[in-house]
Amino acid sequence: MTTIAIIGAGKGLGLAVARRFAREGFAVALVARNQDRVDALAAELRQDGHSAAGYTPNVRDPESIRHALERATEELGPIEVLQYSPLPAKEYMRPVLETTEADLVGPIEFSVYGAVAAARQAIPGMRAIGHGTLLFVNGGSAVRPGGRVTGTSVAFAGESAYAQLLHDALADESIHVGQLIIPFGIDDGEPTHSGDSIADRLWAMHTDRGDFRVYAEPLPA
């Protein structure tokens, strides 16, 4: 059995993706900072007969990510799919004229350094099994910077560039890298905006291996 590691696993998209991949036979590593919450999500999955466990690094601490992914591999099985989708903090979303260089440290550690640490930890295992998928999930500000969400806009740009470079570098090794852009609020009441329907898109990105960037819906005009 291989594993999907979901970095940023909460009750929203994280759990929906966990269920979607578990249904297909994946073990699930649920990764977020709060042990009780990831343990509760893992227990829900285990009750349904799936293999799952919770891990609690802070994505702003690269060593903690490496350690968590190592443990997940030992305890659940090799990581075939890594999803990087932690929910950015509200404090990263400030208007541009109120944002200092110090305000960018958190968002960049969160979206760039954390993503690099996670990908670099997962890639050798994917090479060992001969294939894999790295999925990056971002809001619309990753492709259209928003003046009121400066930290995430700047940091998502770095994450997007890194992910696209990885896509090009790994394409010949049967490791697919994709980025899903979600330009709306998840579970905002629209049926196509549900966590479950986004999880289906992520499953399709894993199985169909299409373009690097996929839009859950076109950006508003």
Ligand X SMILES: NC(=O)c1ccc[n+]([C@@H]2O[C@H](COP(=O)([O-])OP(=O)(O)OC[C@H]3O[C@@H](n4cnc5c(N)ncnc54)[C@H](OP(=O)(O)O)[C@@H]3O)[C@@H](O)[C@H]2O)c1
| Interacting residues with ligand X (CB under 6 A) | 8-14, 32-34, 37, 58-60, 85-88, 110, 137-139, 182, 185-186
Closer to ligand X by CB, 28 or 59: give it: 59
Q: How far is the CB of 128 from ligand X (least distance, A)?
A: 26
Strand partners, 55: 31
User: Which 8-state DSSP code applies to residue 194?
Assistant: S
Amino acid (1-letter code) at residue 70: E
Closer to ligand X by CB, 97 or 121: give it: 121
CB distance 197 to 153 below 8 Å:
no
Closer to ligand X by CB, 97 or 189: give it: 189
Q: Which of 63, 72, 105 is nearest to 2 (CA)?
A: 72
Query: H or E segment at 3?
Result: strand 3-7
User: Which 8-state DSSP code applies to residue 185?
Assistant: -
Q: How far is the CB of 201 from ligand X (least distance, A)?
A: 12
Q: How far is the CB of 159 from ligand X (least distance, A)?
A: 10
Q: How far apart are CA 81 and CA 96, in angstroms?
A: 35
Closer to ligand X by CB, 88 or 125: give it: 88
Closer to ligand X by CB, 3 or 153: give it: 153
Q: How far is the CB of 141 from ligand X (least distance, A)?
A: 9
Residues 6+ apart with CB under 8 A from 80: 2, 3, 4, 26, 126, 129, 131, 132, 133
Q: How far is the CB of 10 from ligand X (least distance, A)?
A: 2
